[in-house]
Structure 1
């Protein structure tokens, strides 16, 4: 899973860079007001539903989603590392009720699901597919 965690981090880094570049004027897009020709650019070719979609996926939202995904990945990575440590050096007094095997059975599919939107990007491995 370490490869998947690293690769996912790279994808999020790329998304973050794109969102920050797109947010040079404003991280929150509001396209409901009429735009002049200079502002429209290629957006003048978009239909209202496409404009609404772009507005809903503005850089501010993308950055919040990246933050949320990084927090989820961080937790999954923590439990994966803890399970590996305990497998290599079992604790003398295991925590009652904590089954790391079951926890990993839940964490790994979460990581795979987070990677799925990026399946079309270079480096995605089919064995990561949920």
Structure 2
């Protein structure tokens, strides 16, 4: 698996989950009555990272992967495309806890 394939797969997962979450209106905007105590800071975090924001992040990261993936696949004499691969490694670091992440991509 290449780093571009890895990133495309993670972005597809994020997109699928965000879309599925956005369609789930079981509880509306209220937290269900549960046995679990939820701190207000957790609720703020959950609300800030809503499905619409996740979809915007996926679109932005996907555009970077497309641009830098294409650049890193090119070759031209006397041109250093190392920055493109570094960008891809930086983006992959977001998913470093995923089992398919390869340590060779670590920063």
Q: Into which bin does the TM-score normalised by the smaller protein fall?
A: 0.7 to 0.9
Larger radius of gyration: 1
Tell me if structure 2 keeps the 8 A contact 1:43–1:51: no
CA distance in 1, matches of 2:46, 2:19: 15
CA distance in 2, matches of 1:49, 1:43: 18
Aligned partner of residue 100 in structure 1, secondary structure: coil
CA distance in 2, matches of 1:116, 1:108: 12
CA distance in 1, matches of 2:35, 2:99: 28
4+ residue segments displaced more than 6 Å: none
Q: How many pairs are equivalent? A: 105
Which stretches in structure 1 are left out of the alignment for 5+ residues? 88-98
Which stretches in structure 2 are left out of the alignment for 5+ residues? none
Tell me if structure 2 keeps the 8 A contact 1:73–1:111: yes
> What CA RMSD, in Å, does the superposition of the two structures yield over aligned residues?
2.3
State the TM-score, normalized to the length of structure 1: 0.71
Aligned equivalent of 2:95: 118
Aligned equivalent of 1:90: none
The CA deviation at 1:81 is 2.4
CA distance in 1, matches of 2:45, 2:57: 16
